[in-house]
């Protein structure tokens, strides 16, 4: 029997508090381990039984998180990446020497399906090795760091200037020095850069260390055939040849994106992102791989019961019907009523998310055949990570929500169901106003606006959008709030609000 994998459609992180508890019994791990797995995002879970995978997928969809539930054998295999020790660019493709293989291999340009370029944080080498005191090796370590920092600066200068249409967003030289110094002192880590190449069938996954030397461009006669250069000089060639194959994070980095926010914390996170992007692009190109299959009902065996043909009774064979007293009839009625109530009884946990501050409220409801007989409302609490509204604006407000996501269980945990109820107290205008106003918060993260500017603009933008009754007019405001975070775009938005 095939196992199933749940692949998210976007690089988002479901709420670990909710999905950690749901995923732990399915994977057979502790809730803490399941919460850590949920925080990784992208690939939600792998190799699950079909019924459990589809229930989790329905819960994600009910919370507005798009996903695919696809048989695991239908996805590209994607074994561990193989390290490239030397590479040459030719007119027909890339010729690479791979670690552990005696002969170089050729990967044609049209077979490169994914290019994933990532900055990864790795632990620094220990300054004290084999009992040698730190003061005896300090000078050597300092020289090694200076050489590494110089190579890192040249690498970033090339990577963040590959796309000439975004040169205005490129950070100034040395803009990341403070981040690197704090990273070394606080976490004892350094930055490494890699370029992963994945073939169209998933059989080849090659990793190019961009800080090493071993690259030669043989596709250009003027570049010199025998001179090797740093591997990061191959990135502009990959961009020119296979721009459409780059992952989203690769394009952000090559367009001068913020290195601090784009860096992966571990090599495992980088591997997981590359696998997720490869599977995501395959599922977008072939959506039929994730079509739902027909599975039997949870309470049956998947087969239709055989019809029982009852022979008619002869008139002489009929027995006199038994006679029951009123006590027996009353007990039977009470028993039937109790069974009907037990069958229709549902314990519901529902949650509502505020469209302004993203705080969550969880209620407990008892229903009998869909009718609520008892409702216990919870308090509004902050989700993880903390919302930008509470950190930057922090004003008291009435919580607005568009509906409820729920999980219902019968007695003894039977007949579980997941879904989402429409309703709520937020109008379409208030929902769009919350989305637009929260779109301002990304300007602070991109350092294109100050906290005071965003705090002052937030209520003004919210009121302008809420008072716009025309959906097309609200869409215009959403486009302005979700534009590329630049200073010019922010000043243009402020000018529009002031009109």
What tens digit of pLDDT does each residue of 277-320 get? 999 998 988 888 886 544 443 433 333 333 434 444 444 444 45
Band of pLDDT at residue 27, cut at 50, 70 and 90:
confident
Q: 147: which 2 tokens?
A: 């050489």
Q: How many CB atoms lie within 10 A of CB 266?
A: 14
**Band of the pLDDT at 163, cuts 50, 70, 90?**
low
Quote the pLDDT of residue 317.
42
Structure tokens at 255: 């367009």
Query: In the chain, pLDDT over 70 holds for what percent of residues?
Result: 79
Contacts of 315 (CB under 8 A, 6+ apart): none
- 196 has a pLDDT exceeding 90: yes
The whole-number pLDDT of residue 153 equals: 67
Residue the block writes with tokens 């992952």: 247
Average pLDDT over residues 447-461: 86
- Name the residue with tokens 């030719």: 90
Q: Which is nearest to 245 in space by CA: 193, 207, 210, 197?
A: 197
DSSP 317-369: GPPPPP---HHHHHHHHHHHHHHHHHHHEEEEEEEEE-TTT--EEEEEEEEET
Give me the mean pLDDT over the 40-50 stretch. 86
- Return d(Cα 342, Cα 137) in angstroms, integer: 75
**Is the pLDDT score of 499 beyond 60?**
yes
pLDDT of residue 296: 41
Dihedral in degrees, nearest 10, Cα atoms 384, 386, 387, 388 = -140
Distances in Å between the Cα of 365 and the Cα atoms of 63, 214, 351, 360, 406 are 18, 64, 11, 16, 10
Q: How far apart are CA 290 and CA 5, in angstroms?
A: 10
The 10 Å Cβ neighbour count of residue 191 is: 22
Task: Note the pLDDT of residue 321.
Answer: 54
29 has a pLDDT exceeding 80: yes
pLDDT bucket at 130, cuts 50 / 70 / 90: very low
Total Cβ atoms within 10 A of residue 339: 10
Residue with tokens 């027996």: 328
Other CB atoms within a 10 A radius of the CB of residue 212 amount to 15
Q: Mean pLDDT of all residues in the chain?
A: 80
Check: CB of residue 22 under 8 Å from CB of residue 47.
Answer: no
Residue 264 DSSP one-character state = B
* pLDDT tens per residue, range 81-117: 999 999 999 999 999 999 988 899 999 999 999 999 9
For residues 16 and 360, give the distance between their C-alpha atoms in angstroms, rounded to a whole number.
13
Q: How many CA atoms lie within 13 A of 302 on its CB side?
A: 5
Percent of the chain with pLDDT over 90: 15
pLDDT band at 393 (very low <50, low <70, confident <90, very high): confident
pLDDT at 83 (0 to 100) = 92
How do residues 221-252 score in pLDDT, each as one tens digit? 554 455 678 888 888 888 888 889 999 988 88
pLDDT band at 150 (very low <50, low <70, confident <90, very high): low
* Residue 195 DSSP one-character state: E
* List of domains in the chain: 4-74 (3.30.1390), 82-287 (no CATH), 343-422 (no CATH), 428-498 (no CATH)
């Amino acid at each position: 029997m095939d196992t199933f994998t749940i692949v998210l459609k976007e690089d988002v992180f479901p709420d670990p508090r909710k999905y950690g508890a749901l995923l732990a019994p399915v994977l057979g791990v502790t809730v803490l381990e399941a919460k850590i797995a949920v925080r990784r995002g992208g690939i939600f879970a792998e190799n699950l039984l079909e019924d459990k995978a589809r229930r989790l997928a329905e819960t994600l969809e009910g919370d507005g998180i798009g996903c695919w539930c696809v048989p695991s054998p239908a996805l590209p295999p994607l074994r561990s990446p193989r390290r490239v020790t030397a590479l040459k660019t030719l007119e027909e493709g890339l010729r690479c020497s791979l670690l552990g293989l005696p002969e170089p291999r050729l990967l044609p340009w049209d077979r490169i399906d994914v290019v994933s370029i990532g900055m990864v944080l790795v632990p620094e080498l220990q300054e004290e090795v084999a009992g040698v005191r730190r003061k005896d090796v300090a000078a050597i370590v300092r020289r090694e760091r200076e050489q590494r920092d110089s190579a890192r600066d040249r690498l970033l200068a090339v990577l963040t200037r590959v796309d000439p249409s975004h040169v205005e967003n490129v950070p100034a030289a040395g803009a990341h020095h403070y981040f690197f110094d704090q990273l070394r002192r606080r976490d004892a880590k350094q930055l490494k850069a890699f370029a992963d190449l994945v073939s169209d069938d998933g059989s080849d996954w090659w990793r190019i260390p961009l800080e090493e030397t071993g690259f030669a461009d043989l596709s250009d006669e003027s570049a010199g055939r025998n001179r090797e250069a740093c591997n990061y000089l191959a990135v502009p060639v990959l961009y020119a040849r296979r721009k459409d194959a780059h992952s989203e994070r690769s394009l952000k980095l090559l367009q001068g994106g913020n290195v601090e926010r784009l860096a992966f914390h571990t090599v495992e996170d980088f591997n997981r992102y590359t696998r997720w992007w490869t599977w995501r692009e395959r599922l977008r190109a072939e959506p039929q791989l994730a079509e739902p299959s027909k599975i039997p009902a949870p309470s049956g065996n998947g087969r239709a019961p055989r019809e029982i043909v009852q022979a008619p009774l002869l008139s002489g064979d009929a027995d006199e019907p038994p006679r029951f007293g009123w006590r027996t009839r009353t007990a039977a009625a009470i028993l039937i009523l109790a069974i009907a109530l037990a069958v229709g009884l549902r314990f519901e946990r529902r949650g509502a998310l505020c469209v302004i501050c993203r705080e969550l409220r969880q209620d407990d409801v008892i229903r009998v055949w869909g009718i609520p007989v008892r409702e216990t409302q919870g308090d509004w609490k902050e989700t993880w990570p903390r919302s930008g509204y509470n950190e930057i604006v922090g004003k008291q407000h009435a919580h607005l929500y568009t509906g409820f996501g729920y999980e219902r269980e019968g007695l003894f945990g039977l007949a579980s169901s997941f879904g989402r109820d429409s309703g709520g107290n937020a109008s379409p205008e208030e929902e769009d106003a919350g989305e637009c106003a929260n779109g301002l918060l990304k300007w602070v993260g991109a350092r294109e606006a100050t906290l005071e500017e965003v705090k002052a603009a937030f209520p003004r933008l919210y009121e302008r959008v809420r008072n716009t009754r025309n959906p097309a007019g609200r869409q215009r405001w959403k486009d302005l709030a979700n534009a590329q975070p630049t200073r010019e775009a922010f000043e243009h938005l402020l000018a529009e609000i002031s009109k």
